[in-house]
């Protein structure tokens, strides 16, 4: 705890709740805080990676941006778990649906996260690590979505290091292994949580489907993301 504040987070001890919702976009963190939290207080502005703490139905909850990609989310989640005493991080993001039967607006609950990243190499493991969600959070998320009449699809996603891939067959290769969608952060979040002995879950709204051309408009994305936020807040 003596490492607080960090080079990336100016919050003091006690200013971040045990449960943190983490969108990639810091402005979406601001939106969540101002829309859903009671008396939100901004606790971090370093690098404009906004973080807020407030209450939801009387329970303390924080929301903070995590940035794009595994290196960025790896830094922020590591510090939250190890330096700020955070117990649960719930990523709320978007994804490209690649599996047959996955459509825009679907809420994906990422049970596992494949990856093309070398992030796990740091652990020196004698094999391949399988990054998975914390089952308690996953089970509660599915039940919360059902109670809110939000369609969910539970399964594997892939966290890619590359947004503009030179390999045009990459997504088709993941699809044949039953992967539901592609995003860029879940694997690092799950690995950091496992190493810290903490809890993590990734919720993803399908915003587009590369193989079918389906895509949400800006307004439709806002509505779909709102449903995901409500499910995530039910876990706080």
**Mind listing the pLDDT tens digit for each residue in 142-201?**
999 999 999 899 999 999 999 999 999 999 999 999 999 999 999 999 999 999 999 999
Mean pLDDT of the chain: 96
Residue 11 maps to a domain: no
pTM of the model: 0.97
pLDDT band at 221 (very low <50, low <70, confident <90, very high): confident
Summarize the confidence of residues 60-81 as an average pLDDT: 98
Active site residues: 208
C-alpha distances (whole Å) from 52 to each of 42, 184, 186 are 4, 23, 21
Summarize the confidence of residues 210-227 as an average pLDDT: 86
Summarize the confidence of residues 117-126 as an average pLDDT: 98
User: What CATH number does the domain containing 83 carry?
Assistant: 3.40.50.1580
Residue 172 maps to a domain: yes
By residue range, what is the domain housing residue 88? 19-233
Residue 9 maps to a domain: no
DSSP string, 113-131: EEES--GGGGG--SS----
- What is the count of structural domains for the chain? 1
Residue 14 maps to a domain: no
Residue 186 maps to a domain: yes
Residue 6 maps to a domain: no
**Mind listing the pLDDT tens digit for each residue in 76-101?**
999 999 999 999 999 999 999 999 99
Residues 54/67, Cβ–Cβ less than 8 Å: no
Residue 8 maps to a domain: no
């Amino acid at each position: 705890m003596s490492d607080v504040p960090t080079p990336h987070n100016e919050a003091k001890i006690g200013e971040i709740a045990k449960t943190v919702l983490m969108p990639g976009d810091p402005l979406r963190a601001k939106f969540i805080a101002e829309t859903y939290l009671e008396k939100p207080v901004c606790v971090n502005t370093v690098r404009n990676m906004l973080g807020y703490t407030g209450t939801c139905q009387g329970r303390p909850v924080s929301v903070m941006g995590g940035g794009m990609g595994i290196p960025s989310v790896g830094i922020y989640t590591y510090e939250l778990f190890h330096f700020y005493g955070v117990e649960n991080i719930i990523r709320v993001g978007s994804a490209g649906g690649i599996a047959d039967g996955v459509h825009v607006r679907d809420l994906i609950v990422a049970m596992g996260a494949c990856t093309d990243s070398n992030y796990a190499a740091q652990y020196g493991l004698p094999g391949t690590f399988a990054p998975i969600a914390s089952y308690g959070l996953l089970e509660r998320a599915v039940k919360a979505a059902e109670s809110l009449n939000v369609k969910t699809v539970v399964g594997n996603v892939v966290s890619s290091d590359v947004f503009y891939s030179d390999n045009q067959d990459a997504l088709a290769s993941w699809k044949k292994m039953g992967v539901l969608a592609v995003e860029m952060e879940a694997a690092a979040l799950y690995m950091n949580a496992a190493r810290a002995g903490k809890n993590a879950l990734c919720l993803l709204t399908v915003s587009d489907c590369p193989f079918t051309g389906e895509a949400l408009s800006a307004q439709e994305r806002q509505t779909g993301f709102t449903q995901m936020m409500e499910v995530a807040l039910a876990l706080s």
